[in-house]
Copies of this chain bind each other. A is one copy, B any other.
Amino acid sequence: MTERPVQRELVGIAIGAGHFGPIQLDSWRRVRGARIEAVCDRNLTAARSAAERFTVPRFGAAVEELVDQVRPDFIDVVTRPESHRELIEFAIDRKLHVLCQKPLAPSLEEAQTLVRRCNDAGVRLMVTEIWRWQPWYRKVRQMITAGEIGQPFHARFVSRRSDGRGHAPFQRQPYFRDMPRLLIYESVIHLIDVVRFLCGRITSVQCLHRQLNPKIAGEDFCLLTLTTAANVTVTIDAHRHGPAQQSQTSEHLVVEGEAGSLELRTDGAILLRSIDGDVRELRTEWPAEGYLGDSCRACLQHFADGLHTGEPFETAGNDNLETLAVVFAAYESAASGSRVTL
């Protein structure tokens, strides 16, 4: 019998205490094998407040100083997209592993360069793609893999939010208003990653997008039609201009296959329809604590586990380039009116 090795607890610094930083800090407290030792934010008040709230020992505004003090194993980048490159390059210089929020970079070329540089330096890079860690998507994948609907041929995601309406939309992330590329780059990127998780490699993209709220710079509505290597046709229909709604668990998803179909409802219920029309509802208990079925914790745990075991991350830099390629192809398709083959 082999003895289980004693696992050293990995130490990280969280960078960014804005909207999503606190969600990750809360989740880190429930991760095994790693902990956050310091919180960094250019806004020192925000850094202090987050450190106090989540009982993180240190905080500061200058990442270099904190790294010198803590000598961490990794940094957890939860800042806005435009700062990612600088922070990843800093991590490469200091030989720190990196967990970085999406979108990794504002262009595919820049993302490719960052990924290559991390690989060359032996720095492990994972993109914080939390969506695929939502337990209902894990369950849906399990059901598809188990053949419960046979060979899938179509999946349709419908995502609705109401926070993009009105004269002052996106109250929690007001900088959204000024982003020239908003919905796909910032939100639908998650669903594209989930499509890859559920349906495999995406081979082509057709996209139409538009701006519903004239108070913003970018698009807040998109329709994507994707094809995959496994011959699944996928639709993503998303906007943030919907009616006010009760809190919802998930996007609405239907996956149709040769032997039946499954429906993931916005309340998290999963319905399985056999080809004969019988309907069965799966009463699954989803974790009540944490963010969206505790998906953030699951994602962070995966990062910590991967650092310990050396196993590849599901959303390693290399992998995430495929998600980003679809994002940028979507904009290209919308501009040209043509399907873009990947």
Interface residues of A (CB under 8 A from B): 153-154, 156, 162, 165, 204, 206, 208, 210, 212, 221, 223, 225, 227, 233, 235, 237, 239, 241-246, 256, 260-261, 273-277, 336-339
Min C-beta distance of A184 to chain B, whole Å: 15
Specify which of B243, B275, B336 is in contact with A277 (CB 8 Å cutoff). Answer: B243
Q: Which residues of B contact A233 (CB under 8 A)?
A: 208, 210, 221, 223
Q: Which residues of B contact A245 (CB under 8 A)?
A: 277
Q: Which residues of B contact A223 (CB under 8 A)?
A: 225, 233, 235
9 A-B pairs with the lowest CB-CB distances in the bound complex, closest first: A337-B339, A244-B277, A338-B338, A243-B273, A243-B275, A243-B277, A208-B225, A244-B276, A223-B225
Question: Are A154 and B276 neighbours in the complex by a CB distance under 8 Å?
Answer: no
Considering the complex, give the chain B residue whose CB is closest to the CB of A213: B258
Q: How many copies does the complex hold?
A: 2
Question: Are A275 and B206 neighbours in the complex by a CB distance under 8 Å?
Answer: no
Name 26 interchain pairs, CB-CB below 8 A, sorted by A: A154-B221, A154-B239, A162-B277, A204-B337, A206-B206, A206-B208, A206-B225, A206-B337, A208-B225, A208-B227, A208-B233, A208-B339, A223-B233, A225-B225, A235-B235, A242-B256, A242-B261, A243-B260, A243-B275, A243-B277, A244-B275, A244-B276, A244-B277, A245-B277, A337-B338, A337-B339
CA distance A274 to B162 in the complex (A): 12
CA distance A212 to B153 in the complex (A): 8
Given known A261-B242, A338-B337, A339-B337, contact A237–B156 (CB-CB < 8 A): yes
CA distance A61 to B154 in the complex (A): 45
Min C-beta distance of A239 to chain B, whole Å: 7
17 more A-B residue pairs beyond the given contacts A206-B337, A243-B276, A244-B275, with a C-beta to C-beta distance below 8 A: A153-B212, A154-B221, A165-B275, A206-B208, A206-B225, A208-B225, A208-B233, A221-B233, A223-B225, A223-B235, A225-B225, A235-B237, A243-B273, A243-B277, A246-B277, A337-B338, A338-B338
Q: Which residues of B contact A273 (CB under 8 A)?
A: 243
Given known A206-B337, A223-B235, A338-B337, contact A261–B277 (CB-CB < 8 A): no
CA distance A241 to B204 in the complex (A): 23
Considering the complex, give the chain B residue whose CB is closest to the CB of A222: B233
Min C-beta distance of A159 to chain B, whole Å: 13
Considering the complex, give the chain B residue whose CB is closest to the CB of A339: B337
Q: Which residues of B contact A242 (CB under 8 A)?
A: 256, 261
CA distance A244 to B242 in the complex (A): 32
Q: Which of A221, A227, A243 has the most CB of B within 10 A?
A: A243
Q: Which residues of B contact A212 (CB under 8 A)?
A: 153
Min C-beta distance of A162 to chain B, whole Å: 8
Q: Which residues of B contact A206 (CB under 8 A)?
A: 206, 208, 225, 337
Min C-beta distance of A334 to chain B, whole Å: 10
CA distance A260 to B154 in the complex (A): 28
Considering the complex, give the chain B residue whose CB is closest to the CB of A246: B277
Q: Which of A210, A227, A274 has the most CB of B within 10 A?
A: A210
CA distance A336 to B212 in the complex (A): 28
Min C-beta distance of A224 to chain B, whole Å: 10
Min C-beta distance of A24 to chain B, whole Å: 30
Considering the complex, give the chain B residue whose CB is closest to the CB of A223: B225
